[in-house]
Chains A and B, each alone.
Chain A
Amino acid sequence: MEWILALAIGALTGSGVWLLLRPRTFQFIMGLTLLTYAVNLFIFAMGRLRLDAPPVIDPHWADPERYADPLPQALVLTAIVIGFATTALFLVVLLAARGMSDTDHVDGEERRP
């Protein structure tokens, strides 16, 4: 399972970074989105991968060995919300820039051939 997750994070990050380096705002925001997924999975993985382990501790059965770490799950929720909000905001700015400059180049002007 570690392999699958690591490959998934790697593939998402790689594609995300590739898209970030492209000159179009749409590609840029897609890259940001992929990178958000990668980062969120990474945070989640930092709580170690556990199967069939609940994150909420039962007071009668409080052996930490039996539980998944709940903190990264809380962190990842916060990160998802913040990432979502900032990406949405970026989308608005992207559309405004597109409307004002009539191009979707990140610099607001097409490179002269």
Chain B
Amino acid sequence: MNPWLQPLPVLPVLLPMMTAAAMLLTRDGQRPVRMALAAVSLALQGVVALLLLAATLEWLPTGWPDGIGVYMLGSWPAPFGIVLVVDRLSALMLGLTALLGTCTWIYATARWDSVGTHFHPLFQLILMGLNGAFLSGDLFNLFVFFEILLTASYGLMLHGSGKQRVSAALHYIGVNLIASFLLLIAIALIYGLTGTLNLADLSLRAQTLYGADRQLFDSAAAILGVAFLIKAAAWPLNFWLPSTYAQACAPVGALFAIMTKVGIYALLRIGSLLLPAGAPAAFGGAWMFPAGIATLAFGTLGMLASIDARRITAYAVITSSGTLFAALGMPGATLTGPALYYLLSSVAALAALFLLLELIERSQPFGADVLAITQEAFETEEADAASLSEQVVGEPLPATLSFLGLSFFTCALIIVGLPPLSGFVAKFSLLSAALRTAEYGAPTLNVWLLVAAMLVSGVACLMALGRSGVRLFWVPEALQIPRLRIREITPILILLSACALLTVRAGPTLDYLDGTAHYLNEPGRYVEAVLGQNSPRLGTTPGPGPAHARGTQP
């Protein structure tokens, strides 16, 4: 056991928090200082995410049981103190956050960070919220980290201002505030019934409830599920999403691609821990599957009905959420591994598409796209581009256009799920896993419904993206050759190479994710790691066993 590795799980929260605090000591005008701080913080977060990934695979001498790292804040043992837990799923999501954060940040430094104030501190805070939500070992801190990431996201959503953006942000903030209240009500109810908020402890306590308490607990879990479904954009709770994502400035929209996945992470995590207790309501297949199919249908129709390419991408985010709900709503753990693979691939591709669309818009003859609702933002960009023209890297060659076209094509391939890239591997493994569950006695109707919904939505997505590609690139008027900077191209290339890497290393990745799925199917391992933890620094005996009645309600 290496004592230096023990505080590793707290670093993904601490690093961005300290960076944001340090940034606030500098004036907004001192952009180089803030950028240097952000670069260091992001690099360190990437390293920490990789180390945690290695630790959960037990490649590092951490001495963590089963590769599950438990960090006790204030050294209080598990059900009493606050714990941060890092396991395979958390480490995976942390890695994805670090990758996405780095890419969108590099893109933002090209121009967007100077459009408004305090972009860099808000960016660090949203990363802190995301990392914290993935690490949190109890419900209340999950809520707190959700609030941190949402509050930072409100600021980023408004970044760049403009009437359309403020109007979309108003809806976004309103809906999310209501969702937060639902979350609080559910958390309070669960605490009132079980006397604990620690997820591991809750998993044990929930099994001992019966009668009226059980019904009340089920309703609390349903409210909790509804709150997470709002965040994860399940139909009919997702009408806030399209305009929010389409109106946010490009790097923010790209970062938001992971925001809905936080809701899915929370559903997956809590669903997995409540599974032996008979996962109630929204966490089980009975609700999640139909919600997924409905979301998939809604996203598909939305994609077909949209004209603006950004709105199409926003609906693609909904479709991706719907696919994940439907896949996770299938019985057993067979689909969880491929679903996680799909999550990785779709987040990277959607983020790349959000970034790309802004670059493509620059190639459009000004005013040609009268239906584009982002005209206001577009106008300011043009002015910026002119003033920064001396910093432009490379001559405006048609090479930039072919780069844009090829990247758009690649993104579309991944999102639609056509071979040869990761989108195809993801959808193929999802479908084959779905067909395999039929052998284990899953309802055949559901299997075929899922297969049909995914294929139809794939075709619709192909039509929508193909149509917008034709409209964007094959226009009769001469396209302006846009000036792109290295900092704008690099993140798109990184995200697309990540997808390519996922394709090439599909075997090992799917093995890892299947391992994660099996691990999630055995919540006992998580509970054991969290509650069986005694504090090495205090040298205390292991905490009281879960069977003991502790802190009973009067």
Q: Which residues of A contact B (CB under 8 A)?
A: 20, 25, 28, 32, 35-36, 39, 42-43, 45-48, 50, 64-65, 69, 71-72, 75, 78-79, 82, 85-87, 89-90, 93-94, 96-97, 100-101, 106-108
Q: Which residues of A contact B163 (CB under 8 A)?
A: 100-101, 108
Expressed in whole angstroms, the Cα–Cα distance for A75 and B141 within the complex equals: 10
A64 near B551 with CB under 8 A, answer yes
B70 CB to closest chain A CB, in angstroms? 21
Counting contact residues on chain B (CB < 8 A from A), the size range is: 20 to 34
Q: Which residues of B contact A106 (CB under 8 A)?
A: 170-171, 174
Q: Which of A48, A86, A94 contacts B554 (CB 8 A)?
A: A48
A90 near B171 with CB under 8 A, answer no
Q: Which of B171, B551, B554 contacts A50 (CB 8 A)?
A: B554
Nearest CB to that of A85 among chain B residues?
A: B151
Main secondary structure of the interface of B (DSSP, over half): helix
Binds A, one of B61-69, B185-193, B264-272, B459-467: B185-193
Q: Which residues of A contact B166 (CB under 8 A)?
A: 93, 96-97, 100, 108
Q: Which residues of B contact A (CB under 8 A)?
A: 140, 144, 147, 150-151, 154, 158, 161, 163, 166-167, 169-171, 173-174, 177-178, 180-181, 184-185, 187-189, 191-192, 551-554
B184 near A39 with CB under 8 A, answer yes
Nearest CB to that of A43 among chain B residues?
A: B188
**What is the count of residue pairs linking A and B with beta-carbon distances less than 8 angstroms?**
89
A97 near B144 with CB under 8 A, answer no
Q: Which residues of B contact A46 (CB under 8 A)?
A: 188-189, 191-192
Q: Which of A20, A42, A50 contacts B188 (CB 8 A)?
A: A42
| Contact flag A28-B174 (CB < 8 Å), given A39-B181, A42-B188, A93-B166 | yes
B188 near A75 with CB under 8 A, answer yes
A94 near B170 with CB under 8 A, answer yes
- Beyond A32-B174, A69-B554: 15 further Cβ-contacts under 8 Å? A25-B170, A39-B181, A39-B184, A43-B188, A46-B192, A47-B192, A79-B184, A82-B144, A85-B151, A86-B151, A86-B177, A96-B158, A97-B170, A106-B170, A108-B167
Expressed in whole angstroms, the Cα–Cα distance for A105 and B163 within the complex equals: 13
Expressed in whole angstroms, the Cα–Cα distance for A46 and B192 within the complex equals: 5
| Contact flag A39-B191 (CB < 8 Å), given A64-B552, A93-B170, A108-B167 | no
Expressed in whole angstroms, the Cα–Cα distance for A8 and B189 within the complex equals: 17
Q: Which residues of A contact B181 (CB under 8 A)?
A: 35-36, 39
The CB with the most chain B CB atoms within 10 A, among A43, A46, A48, A71, is that of A46
A101 near B191 with CB under 8 A, answer no
B156 CB to closest chain A CB, in angstroms? 12
B115 CB to closest chain A CB, in angstroms? 16
